[in-house]
Structure 1
Amino acid sequence: MRKLYFLVPGTDGKFACGGLWAELKTVNLAQQICSADVVTYRQRETDKIFLDDLLKAKNLDDVIFVISWGFDIAQLAAKLQKYNVVYHAHSAGYRFRLPASIPIITVSRNTMGYWGQKAPNSLIYYLPNQISDEFQNLHLERDIDVLVQARKSSEYLMQALIPELQKKCRVFVVNSYVEDLPGLFNRAKIYLYDSAEYWAQQGVSEGFGLQPMEALACGCQVFSSVNGGLSDYLDPGFNCHKIAGYSKEFDTQRILKLLESPVKGTLPEQFFAEYRYENIIKRFQVILAELNEFFDHKIQQQSNIPELTKIRVAKLFTQSIYSKVRKKYFRG
C-alpha cells in the first residue's frame, strides 16, 4: 500500500481552524492503516516535511498526495499532475475542475453529490468526519440555557436573536478557543448554530458542520441552519430545530418553549455510529485499497471516457434539440 502525504499549508498560526483539525484527525486515522505523514507547502515547520523538498525525490510512484485546502486545489493539482493525487473534499462550490486521474474522497453526501455532477468520470468516495468518543452525554446539571459560538454565526443570530434571549434566559456566547468543548456542550441545554450567511459570503458550502453533531452527542437540543453538509444528518422536527424560522419572535418562542419542556434524552448511539471510529476506519480501509488498485491501473492505461465539459454539454444539448426536431418533421 502506497504511503500517504497529506498536504496542508501549515499546522499553526493563521492556518489553525476546524478544517485543519479535521484533516489532522484524518491523518491519524490513516496512520492506523498505512504509512502517512503531514507535508506543509506554504509554511516551513521544523518537525514537518516541506513539499518543495519532497518533490526533489526521484521516484514518488509509491506515494499518494492527499490535497484538501479548497482555495489551493487548482494550483496544487497542476503542480502534482504527474504524481498520484487524491482530493479530500470538505466544502463544495470552489470554481475549479479536476481530471479523472484525481479520485475524490468527500466528507459529506452533500459534497459527494456536488462532485458526482461536476466530475462524473472520477472515482468518488464518502468518508465522513469522525466524532470523537469524548463527545457524549455525561448527564450533568446543565447551567447554561443557550450556548452559541460567535465564529461563523449570522448577523441575525448575534445582533437580533441573542440580545432578545439574553433578556429571558442564561445565554453563554463563546468568542475564543475552547479547551474542553465536550464539557461545555454538557453544560448547555440548547446550542444555536447558523452558518448559512457565513458560507454564502465565502462562496462555498458548509463541508460537514461538526459542532451541531458534537452538541447532539452531548445531549444538547440543537437549533441550526441546514445548509451544505449539515443536511446530511440534521432533520428539523425530529433531531433538531431549524434556526432563523421566519421571525425573531417565532425563534424566541420556540427556544423558550423548549427550555420549559422536560429535558429530552440523548439520541441513540446508533445515530452516531456512522461517524464514530469503528465505522470510519473500516470505510477508510476499503477506500485506500481501491485507490491503490486504481493507481496501479493508471500506470498502464490513460483515461478514455469523454469529459463533461461545457463545450460537450452544449454539443449534447444541440444534438438533442436536432433529434427532437428531426423526429417531429418526419412524423409530420
Structure 2
Amino acid sequence: MASSISRLAPLPKVPSRPAAPLPRVPGPKLAPFTPNARADIEFVEFLGRENDVDSQVWKVKVNGASFALKAFYFCHSETLRQNQGGDLTRPLANSQLYIDYFDPFNCECRAYGRLKERQRENLAVQAYGYLLLTPQQETELARKVTGDPSLLPYANAGTLDGDNFWKRYEEHRGLPVRAIVKELVSRKAPNPHDAQRMWVDLDNLHSLGIFVRDTHGGNYLGGKLVDFSRSWTMYHPALVQIGDSKLQLLMLEELQQLLDYYYDLSNSSSDEIDIPETLESYCSGEIAKYKNLPRAYNWLRWDENGEAVKAHVESELFEKPAL
C-alpha cells in the first residue's frame, strides 16, 4: 500500500467563507446547514447512548428552533483502512480516501445526500445539513459530558494521540468537530403502522444504493432510521470491491438485525406487530433470493455527477499497481 499521508485534507474553517457540501469526493453530499457551516448552538439535553462510539447526540436550539445535533468523534485513517476497508481487493490510493468513504460523518453525509438527490427523505429521520463546531463549542460540549470545567480545546494541543474527548490524532490537528443537524423526533416505540414501514423503507433504501449495515433497534425512533454512520452509498468502493459471498453475509447480518428488532417489538408491545414474512424468509436460509442489492444501483444514470464519479473511480480512487 502507498505510504499514508500525514495530514488529511482540511475542512473549511473561516466563518466568512461559504462552506462546500461534504465529503469532497464526487457523488452524493450533504450541504451545510448555514452558508458558512457555523451557528450559535445551545446544548439542551443529551439524547444519545453512553456507549456510542461514533458521536454525541444532543437536543439543541439554533436560532430558537429545536433540533437533534449529532457531533462526530474523529476516526484515524489507518483504523478505518483496517476495520472498514480491509476486505477491499484493491487498496484506496491514499489515507484521505478512507476518510471520505468510511468515516461515520462522511457515511451519513453520503446517505443523506442520496436521499435528497432522489427526493426520498421520508425514508429516514430528516437531516437538514452539517455544522462545524467552533473550539469553544466543542470544549463546552466536552465539559458538559465529562463534568470537568478545566478541559481545554483539543484542536491544537501539544500532543494529539487519540487520547482526548474527540479522539483527535495528529492527522486531525486543527480540524473542526463535524456535526449533522437532524429532525428532533420523540423516543416513542413504533406503532403497528410505523413498524410495518421499517422493512419497506429499508428495501427502498437498498434500491437507492444505500447499504445501511446497522439496523438494530437503537438506530430507530418511531419506526424511522436515525443512523447512517456505517452505511455504504453507491458509488462506494466496498460495494464493488468486496466479493459476492462476503456482501451476502453482510446483507444477512443487516436484515437479521432488523428482524430481531421486530421480534423485540412483538414481545414488548401491547399492540400486535406484524413481522414481515419476506424478511423472515430471507433470514431463514433464503438470503440468496434477495435481489434488491445496493450495489446494483445505476449511479451513472441517476447521480447528477455520474460522469465525474466514473472519472474519479478510473483515475484517482485506487492505488496504482507497481510497475
TM-score category of the 2 structures, normalised to the smaller one: under 0.3
TM-score between the two structures when normalised by the length of structure 2: 0.24
More helix by share: 1
- Report which of the two structures shows the higher radius of gyration computed on alpha carbons: 1
